[in-house]
Homo-oligomer: A and B are copies of this chain.
């Protein structure tokens, strides 16, 4: 029963230690040699546990310095999972739809959760619409951040990188128009219209892409 899988116990012990001593992200934990002795295990066994934690993004090791708790708010979960979640589901369609799904949800959240003085945010956003280098991705990223769900943001970011953005250097007139309409609706907290405009924009974009070279 107690046999095998000792490194899992170590993972638990480390977690307990972190909790008991109220260590925070960025704090340094004892050296491998110290931990190994304290827990009465060999250093290599301890390292097996540490590597697991590192792969998950829970700790961070710096050679010559030590081992530190990393900010687990940045769900490393997503990166790790992406390496083998996305490998089978290469369906571009799925990626695109999932990405869209997060974007629309963000818009809805923003429209409904409006607190107070985010007004200046919309102004600065609007002013940037005119820039040539302000693409759809930039626009949506702002929305994703504003929605406040960092996990969703992380997933979106990944999907975005994954599906690629074959945008031109300059943003087309149509896109600016769509952006403008969407933004206007969001400002008015008109969820229905905002989502509607955004979907229209996305559909238009999809058609544009298939018309041009649809890569793989």
Contacts and interface: CB of A to CB of B under 8 A. Distances in A.
A133 interface: no
A175 to B, nearest CB: 24
Nearest to A54: B52
Number of copies: 2
A74 B158 CA distance: 17
Interface in A124-181: 149-152, 154-155, 158, 162
Interface residues of A, number: 51
A87 B81 CA distance: 20
Contacts of A54: 52
Contacts of A72: 84-85, 88, 91
A87 B149 CA distance: 15
A29 to B, nearest CB: 13
Given A47-B44, A105-B101, A105-B105, A80 B56 contact: yes
Interface of A: 4, 7-8, 11-12, 15, 19, 44, 47-49, 51-52, 54-56, 58, 63, 72-77, 80-81, 83-91, 94-95, 97-98, 101-102, 104-105, 149-152, 154-155, 158, 162
